[in-house]
Amino acid sequence: MDFNAYQCLRFTRQGRVLTVSLNRPEQRNAVNARLHTELSRLWPDLQHDVDSDVIVLTGEGAAFCAGGDIDWMQSHVDDPAAFDRMAREGKDIAFGQLDLEKPLIAKVNGHATGLGASLALLSDIVLISADAKIGDPHVSVGLVAGDGGALIWPQIVGFAKARKYLFTGELLGAAEAERIGLVTEVHPRDQLDAATDALAQRLAGGATLAMRYTKITANLPLRALFHAHFDAGLAYECLSNRSADHAEAVAAFRERRKPQFSGG
């Protein structure tokens, strides 16, 4: 891998384990145009990295990923065609994660919202800090969760729970997320690194080929689901980006007030 080609991601190795860190800590690792592009081409690079067998995805600083950067959202309100072009990258991110044959552990060291939640939930194993929250508040900013959230949540927790959290945008505490099966394990923040390292090294020391083939097999239904329906979710998200409610939500966020939705 050419690590120097990435500006918003940081890479560290520990034996056959490669850790990828979202690296915009001052912005709580919110995704901007550069980071989104880097995420869209990350997964094939990881697949072909001959020096790693296990991947850990985490965030620098206090958050895992705070979703989309508000200035980036405003740029898409101002130029909807740019959002349409960006949607192709969103497809590459989701499909790239599902196609990655190496075990992928999400170390959710802080809040994971929107795209951040999707990045975590499209991973194979999710270890979360006890004080972190996770959720998909796309609808709270007038957007469809077309980056994968509307598809992956029902597969993990069932439709009844998924629809509630997708419709409300409510964030779940780590304990509740574990209780409903959304995440794999909860660990105190000061023990999360050690727990992740131990699991990653255990996997790296296991039967690599068997694990890869098992992951491929386990992901076949998800890949079929995403191939069948992901484009529709993206299309609806592109439509919602053009809505008056989304423009109002972005303006309200920037003005630090509650949005007044009109349903348009």
Structure token digits, residue 237: 């998200």
Q: Looking at residue 42, what is its pLDDT?
A: 98
- pLDDT on residue 57: 99
**Residue 18 pLDDT grade (very low, low, confident, very high; cuts 50, 70, 90):** very high
How far apart, in whole angstroms, are the C-alpha atoms of residue 142 and residue 145?
A: 10
Residue 85 has a pLDDT of 86
Q: What CATH homologous superfamily does 3-204 map to? A: 2-enoyl-CoA Hydratase; Chain A, domain 1 (3.90.226.10)
Mean pLDDT of 123-142: 98
Contact 24, 68 (CB under 8 A): no
213 band by pLDDT with thresholds 50, 70 and 90: very high
Give the residue ranges of DSSP H helices in the chain.
33-47, 70-78, 80-99, 115-121, 149-157, 159-168, 174-179, 189-204, 208-241, 244-254
What is the pTM for the complete model shown?
0.97
The pLDDT assigned to 1 comes to 81
In this predicted model, what pLDDT tens digit does every residue of 145-181 receive, in sequence order?
A: 999 999 999 999 999 999 999 999 999 999 999 999 9
Average pLDDT, the chain: 97
pLDDT tens column, 49-94: 999 999 999 999 999 999 999 999 999 999 999 998 889 999 999 9
Tokens of 154: 């029902």
Residue of 135, 144, 119 lying closest to 234 (CA atoms)? 144
